[in-house]
């Protein structure tokens, strides 16, 4: 009987040891995730969360597995965007509006990386000690996406959104660009926008004035061209007259007489000299 009880105890201890060694969740601190690599099976496709039961037989083999423990915390980026509408300086100067078409937006985005990204990071050699630096670089990517969205929305030929609508657009842009990110909050704390109606009026006025100037320049060039052609013909006609008078000097006396007496009996003035 004693031997049986002793055997039961040994089996229970062995089973407990197997359970403990194979368990992942027992060794994880709160709010952490484990990414496991084993020599027998390679990388586990999904991370193991603290508090969720997870047992791997691969851990029963000595030195077979390596466990990388990541802690994921929400990140927050503060972003300030400022600029002006397209060709704002030209239109503002046209109507004397100064900086009326400038804009400024301040906002905060809180987000958290989804645990499903951790195995990919581990395979890319972004290990737990490298995570803080990676988070800084990733925050810059978030800022770039927000900058692009704010610029597209405000500088586009559409009506300006409200602060809430802009928050929704930015959250959607981040989620679409980075599927492995969960956007917690997007808060627009300041949004100074120009007068869109005034901007459109200034742009229309400037376009009309520019068109009028262009048409005037075209008309002036056409008139100058006509003058050049007329002057060239007149010069050519005078050159022909000069050639005729050089050949027949007597005609000069005839023209003088005709001018003095107002008569042209030979009707020479009706004869075309220059090109027609």
Residues 22-78: tens digit of each pLDDT: 456 566 788 888 888 888 878 888 888 887 767 666 666 677 878 888 988 899 999
Residues 121 and 172 in one domain: yes
Residue 203 lies in a domain: no
Task: Select from 71, 100, 125 the last residue of a domain.
Answer: 71
Given pLDDT bands bounded at 50, 70 and 90, which one contains residue 16?
very low
Q: Higher-confidence residue: 245 or 97? A: 97
In the predicted structure, residue 256 carries a pLDDT above the cut 50: yes
In the predicted structure, residue 10 carries a pLDDT above the cut 60: no
pLDDT above 90: percentage of residues in the chain: 29
Residue 113 has a CB neighbour count (10 Å cut-off) of 21
Which tokens hold the place of 127?
């290990």
Given pLDDT bands bounded at 50, 70 and 90, which one contains residue 12?
very low
Given pLDDT bands bounded at 50, 70 and 90, which one contains residue 193?
confident
pLDDT of residue 216: 66
Residues 6 and 24 in one domain: yes
Residue 185 lies in a domain: yes
Q: Higher-confidence residue: 38 or 263? A: 38
Summary mean pLDDT of the chain: 77
Residues 19 and 55 in one domain: yes
pLDDT of residue 22: 44
Nearest in space to 171 (alpha carbons), one of 154, 140, 146: 146
Task: Over range 247-254, report the average pLDDT.
Answer: 64
In the predicted structure, residue 86 carries a pLDDT above the cut 60: yes
Task: Over range 185-192, report the average pLDDT.
Answer: 92
Task: Select from 26, 46, 71 the last residue of a domain.
Answer: 71
pLDDT of residue 197: 78
The whole domain housing 63 covers: 2-71
206-223 b/e (C-beta count within 10 Å ≥ 16 → b): beeeeeeeeeeeeeeeee
What global pTM score does this model have? 0.64
* 124 DSSP assignment: T
CATH number reported for the structural domain that contains residue 172 in this entry: 3.30.479
Residues 57 and 157 in one domain: no
Residues 175 and 102 in one domain: yes
Nearest in space to 109 (alpha carbons), one of 79, 154, 134: 79
Task: Over range 145-165, report the average pLDDT.
Answer: 86
Residues 107 and 164 in one domain: yes
Residue 2 has a CB neighbour count (10 Å cut-off) of 6
pLDDT of residue 258: 61
pLDDT of residue 77: 94
Q: Higher-confidence residue: 82 or 275? A: 82
Residues 43 and 109 in one domain: no
Give the integer Cα–Cα distance in Å for 27 and 63: 17
Residues 227 and 253 in one domain: yes
Task: Select from 56, 71, 86 the last residue of a domain.
Answer: 71
**Which of the residue ranges 14-18, 82-86, 100-104, 247-251 would you say has the lowest mean pLDDT?**
14-18
Given pLDDT bands bounded at 50, 70 and 90, which one contains residue 80?
very high
Residue 212 lies in a domain: no
Counted domains in the chain: 3
In the predicted structure, residue 202 carries a pLDDT above the cut 60: yes
Residues 262 and 224 in one domain: yes
pLDDT of residue 188: 93
């Amino acid at each position: 009987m004693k031997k049986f009880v002793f055997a039961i105890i040994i089996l229970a201890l062995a089973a407990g040891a197997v359970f403990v060694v194979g368990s992942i969740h027992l060794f994880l601190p709160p709010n952490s995730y484990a990414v496991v690599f084993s020599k027998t099976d390679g990388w586990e496709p999904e991370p193991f969360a603290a508090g969720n039961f997870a047992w791997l037989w691969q851990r029963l083999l000595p030195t077979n597995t390596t466990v990388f423990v990541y802690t994921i915390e929400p990140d927050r980026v503060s972003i300030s965007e400022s600029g002006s509408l397209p060709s704002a300086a030209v239109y503002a100067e046209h109507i004397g509006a100064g900086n009326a078409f400038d804009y400024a937006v301040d906002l905060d985005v809180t987000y958290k990386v989804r645990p499903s990204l951790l195995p990919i990071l581990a395979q890319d050699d972004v290990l737990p000690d490298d995570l803080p630096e990676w988070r800084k670089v990733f925050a810059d990517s978030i800022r770039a996406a927000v900058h692009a969205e704010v610029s597209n929305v405000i500088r586009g030929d559409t009506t300006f959104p409200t602060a809430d609508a802009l928050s929704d657009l930015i959250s959607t842009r981040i989620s679409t660009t980075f599927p492995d990110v969960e956007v917690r909050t997007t808060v627009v704390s300041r949004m100074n926008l120009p007068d869109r109606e005034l901007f459109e009026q200034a742009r229309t006025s400037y376009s009309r004035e520019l068109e009028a100037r262009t048409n005037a320049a075209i008309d002036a060039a056409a008139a100058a061209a006509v003058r050049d052609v007329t002057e060239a013909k007149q010069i050519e006609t005078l050159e022909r007259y000069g050639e005729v008078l050089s050949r027949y000097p007597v005609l000069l006396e005839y023209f003088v007489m005709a001018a003095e007496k107002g008569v042209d009996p030979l009707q020479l003035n009706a004869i075309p000299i220059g090109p027609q």
